[in-house]
């Protein structure tokens, strides 16, 4: 198994309802950290218009939303031609809808075909990688909001997305070593109507993502100004 020195995590992007500075932010992180592995933690697209929940009549229809998501993803394909992604509740909406309607997966195109993604983009149910310090790290979209629980259950370091307002690293140890559980926030546009459902929550989404360097996690917040735009000088 390859050992990775610097793993850049891309948190939930929800294209086309991503934060407007997402691509510039990720471009800067790529240049700063020079990752040898990139993992997208899921919810790469939003799929609002094909959601199981009521859709907002003031947002795009299903076809236009998908096309705009693809157009924006294409910028990410250029920036990161090789990405491993974990399956997620939003990313898998089309298959989940098909299942509810009794349609086998063979009737559907692959993620790569639907999103016009390059061969270097690979979807996994979940993913375990080896880090340069010899420890393993487990990536999954979102299995538990309980701090540290996933890492302790798996007995290895873990990374989750899904919980947009969670941006934290919890460390724990046993006689064999030191482990951590990282939650990487999200890269969504909190002002979009697609996230209106979230407006009654006290906790707001935290925009940012995470990097793993030599086996140690680092959270990188996207520092925003009063208009919600990235203050570029602070990365
Ligand atoms: Fe998400």
2 CA from centroid of ligand 1 (Å): 29
Q: How far is the CA of 92 from the centre of ligand 1 (A)?
A: 12
Task: For residue 138, report the distance from its CA to the centre of ligand 1, in Å.
Answer: 18
pTM of the predicted model as reported, rounded to 2 decimal places: 0.96
Measure 158 CA to ligand 1 centroid, in angstroms: 17
Ligand 1 centroid–CA 87 distance in Å is 11
Q: What is the mean pLDDT of residues 55-68?
A: 96
pLDDT in tens, 168-218: 999 999 999 999 999 999 999 988 999 988 777 878 899 999 999 999 999
Nearest to 74 by CA among 142, 36, 121: 121
In the sheet that holds 177-184, the strands lie side by side as 3-4, 127-131, 136-140, 157-160, 177-184, 167-174
Q: 3-state DSSP call for residue 1? A: coil
Contact at 8 Å (CB) between 22 and 187?
yes
* 165 CA from centroid of ligand 1 (Å): 10
User: If you measure from the C-alpha of residue 233 to the centroid of ligand 1, how many angstroms do you get, rounded to a whole number?
Assistant: 27
Per-residue model confidence as pLDDT tens digits over 168-178: 999 999 999 99
Distance 95 CA to ligand 1 centre (A): 17
CA of 175 to the centre of ligand 1 (A): 35
Is 228's pLDDT higher than 70?
yes
Structure-block tokens of residue 150: 């996933």
The rounded Å distance from CA 44 to ligand 1 centre is: 8
* Distance between Cα 132 and ligand 1 center (Å): 28
Ligand 1 centroid to Cα of residue 13, in Å, is: 7
The answer to whether 186 and 164 have CB atoms below 8 angstroms apart is: yes
Whether the per-residue pLDDT at 62 is higher than 70: the answer is yes
Mean local confidence (pLDDT), 27-41? 98
pLDDT number for residue 53: 92
pLDDT score at 122: 98
Task: Check: CB of residue 19 under 8 Å from CB of residue 188.
Answer: yes
- pLDDT tens by residue, 122-181: 999 999 999 999 999 999 999 999 999 999 999 999 999 999 999 999 999 999 999 999
Q: What band does 234 get if pLDDT is binned at 50, 70 and 90? A: low
Q: Determine the 3-state secondary structure of 188 from DSSP.
A: strand
Say what percent of the chain tops pLDDT 90: 91
Phi-psi region of 102 (alpha: psi -120 to 50; beta: other; left: phi over 0): left
Distance 186 CA to ligand 1 centre (A): 7
> How does residue 66 score in pLDDT terms, banded at 50, 70 and 90?
very high
Measured in angstroms, how far is the CA atom of residue 176 from the centroid of ligand 1? 34
Query: Residue 232 pairs with which residues in a beta bridge?
Result: none
Q: How far is the CA of 199 from the centre of ligand 1 (A)?
A: 15
Question: Could you tell me the CA-to-CA distances from 220 to 68, 92, 101, 223, 231 in Å, in that order?
Answer: 27, 27, 41, 9, 13
| Residue 92 pLDDT greater than 80, yes or no | yes
pLDDT of residue 235: 65
């Amino acid at each position: 198994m390859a050992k990775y020195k610097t793993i850049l995590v891309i948190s939930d992007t929800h294209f086309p309802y991503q934060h407007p500075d997402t691509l510039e932010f990720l471009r800067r992180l790529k240049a700063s950290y020079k990752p040898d592995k990139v993992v997208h933690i899921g919810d790469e697209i939003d799929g609002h218009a094909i959601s199981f929940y009521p859709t907002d009549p003031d947002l795009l229809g299903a076809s236009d939303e998908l096309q705009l998501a693809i157009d924006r993803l294409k910028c990410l394909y250029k920036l990161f031609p090789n990405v491993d992604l974990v399956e997620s509740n939003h990313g898998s909406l089309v298959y989940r809808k098909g299942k509810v309607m009794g349609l086998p997966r063979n009737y559907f195109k692959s993620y790569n075909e639907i999103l016009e993604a390059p061969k270097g983009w690979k979807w996994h149910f979940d993913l375990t990688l080896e880090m340069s310090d010899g420890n393993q790290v487990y990536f999954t979209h979102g299995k538990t909001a309980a701090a540290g629980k996933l890492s302790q259950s798996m007995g290895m370091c873990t990374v989750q997305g899904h919980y947009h307002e969670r941006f934290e690293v919890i460390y724990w140890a046993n006689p064999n070593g030191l482990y951590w559980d990282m939650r990487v926030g999200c890269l969504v546009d909190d002002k979009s109507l697609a996230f209106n459902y979230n407006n009654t929550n006290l906790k707001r989404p935290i925009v940012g993502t995470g990097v793993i360097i030599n086996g140690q996690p680092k959270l990188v917040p996207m520092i925003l100004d009063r208009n919600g735009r990235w203050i570029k000088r602070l990365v």
